[in-house]
Amino acid sequence: MNDDLQKLGEDVVGVLCQIYDPEIPVNIYELGLIYDVEVSDQYDVRVLMTFTAPNCPVSETLPVEIKEKIETLEKVKSATIDITWDPPWEKDMMSEEAKLELGFL
């Protein structure tokens, strides 16, 4: 991956770290909801993510918010947010910082 694409990937992660699950005071990246971020040579971004539960109340609105915020980055041509349930989200997927914040450590 060239430096430009690497930097854009880092910028995308930076955006993801500013988006919070409204029910949990931790950003979606530290919460472990983001499984993958891909940046193509054409500056298209694909995010593979999950939710804490299938009936998550923000399952309709959160992907739209993520897409819109990623597409505000200067070089991003488009963003696609794909949802997966495999593997299912578990508390172990959270970062140490998130676990500490939520009292799991």
Per domain, the residue ranges of the chain are 3-98
Q: Are 24 and 102 in contact (CB under 8 A)?
A: yes
In tens digits, the chain (105 residues) has pLDDT values of 588 899 999 999 999 999 998 888 899 999 999 999 999 999 999 999 999 888 888 889 999 999 999 999 999 999 999 999 999 999 999 999 999 989 987
Report the alpha-carbon distance of residue 30 to residue 28 in Å, rounded: 6
List CB contacts of 91: < 8 A, sequence separation 6 or more. Answer: 99, 104
The CATH H-level (homologous superfamily) assignment of domain 3-98 is Fe-S cluster assembly (FSCA) (3.30.300.130)
Report the alpha-carbon distance of residue 84 to residue 105 in Å, rounded: 27
Report the alpha-carbon distance of residue 14 to residue 11 in Å, rounded: 5
